[in-house]
Amino acid sequence: MPSPPHPKRDYRRPEPDRAAGALLGPLATDALVGTPPTRPTIDPTLTHLIHTALQGALTTVTPTDPPPDPTARAWAHTLRTLVRTGQLPDHPGALEHTPDHDPHGVSWRALTHTPPPAHDPARGAFACTHLVDAIKAAHRTGGHTAALYTAALAGARWGASALPLQAMRHLSEHTDPHTPITTALQAIATRSDPTQWPQAPLNQEDRQRFTPFAVPHPLDPHVLLGNLAHLRHHPTATDAVVSLCRTHPHDAPHLPGPDWVRVWLHDAPGANPNLHYTLDQAATAVATLRAEGKSVLVHCWAGASRTPAVAARYAITTLGAPPLPTMTTLITAVGGHLDNPTLSQAVAHLSGIDLPDPAHTLFNGDPPPRRPDLRTHTCHHHTPDPHR
């Protein structure tokens, strides 16, 4: 009998973000705690625990090889619950009363006893930076191994989108981040399709494909604003790239790891639990690459929504541009749209501006024409995770 078709997975849900964070967190720990950069090494016991916790996490499949030790089993259950729900389990089991030297317990206490900062984007305060705070707390009290265990739990709590992009640049000196992301996303599902992302390059998004497109940033000609097709067809047009959509190593095999910043960001309302932080980090990455003397391509799938949002935040924070006129200029420059108004609203919030109706405020209710290759499409709406 023929095999049943592979189920389509919606990677814009928060669970894949959290699963990827569980594997990427430990790999980025050295950069987060200030350890001299080396190829990351993770205790095989921890790696096995993470894989056990992730196995079929989005299904009814029960892990086939649960840890025999009750403390390790409770830790794996905690990580699995975090990936599935974004919440800690009601009962920590054996974790709360472990010895001070036990990394399972140290990581639990670091995650639960470290207070998350109040979320205030206009003041540069983001709740998801709790991820880094918890890892550093574990490193102070329990050393490097405890920090690794905490990074896995905190990554599962807040997601890959909460990892600082500068730390990801350090990681990419030795490890392609796409590899652990693929491993995590394959683990949480029972089946995967080798012809689809993340195992293969993305071939469409929202049922759309585009021809190459790029224009210079109106306020910085050394920054190009474009789409993924431009990166694929003109790979050497810039020295560095900030990618704001799903990518694959085949999309930019020529780039050194630190010069290719890959951002976990979706073009759908409610799909980005750490939206303000992610936009701010992406804009900071552009500024950092420019400070290094590099020309930069900023792109998403279409170059029409995520790209102008990050380009506007970059211009506001680095070039001193006024927020609202800059947002108008950038959307117009790329022939973009406001189908996902949450991006513009978040950019405004980062500057302390409330923007309930971006189309009315930025364009007097009459947005400019889209690029000819863009057609009207409906964004997929996601219910925001209330526990983020």
Q: Tell me where in the chain the CATH 3.90.190.10 domain(s) lie.
A: 214-363
Selection from 153, 159, 76, 71 nearest residue 112 by Cα: 153
Helix (H, G, I), strand (E, B) or coil at 296: strand
List pLDDT tens digits, range 322-331.
999 999 999 9
pLDDT at 111 over 90: yes
- For residue 243, give the 3-state DSSP assignment: strand
| Residue range 221-238: mean pLDDT, rounded | 97
Beta-strand ranges (E) seen in the chain are 214-217, 220-227, 240-243, 260-262, 296-300
CATH topology assigned to domain 214-363: Protein-Tyrosine Phosphatase; Chain A (3.90.190)
Contact present, 185 and 352 (Cβ < 8 Å): no
**Residue carrying the six token digits 């983001």:** 126
- Yes or no: say if 228 and 245 are a contact pair by the CB < 8 Å rule: yes
pLDDT of residue 334: 98
Per-residue pLDDT reduced to its tens digit, 66-99:
888 999 999 999 999 999 999 999 888 789 889 9
Per-residue pLDDT tens for 246-255?
Answer: 999 999 999 9
According to the model, what pLDDT value does residue 5 have?
Answer: 43
Strand partners, 225: 215, 298
Its pTM surpasses 0.95 = no
What are the DSSP calls for 37-58, one per residue? Answer: P------HHHHHHHHHHHTTTT
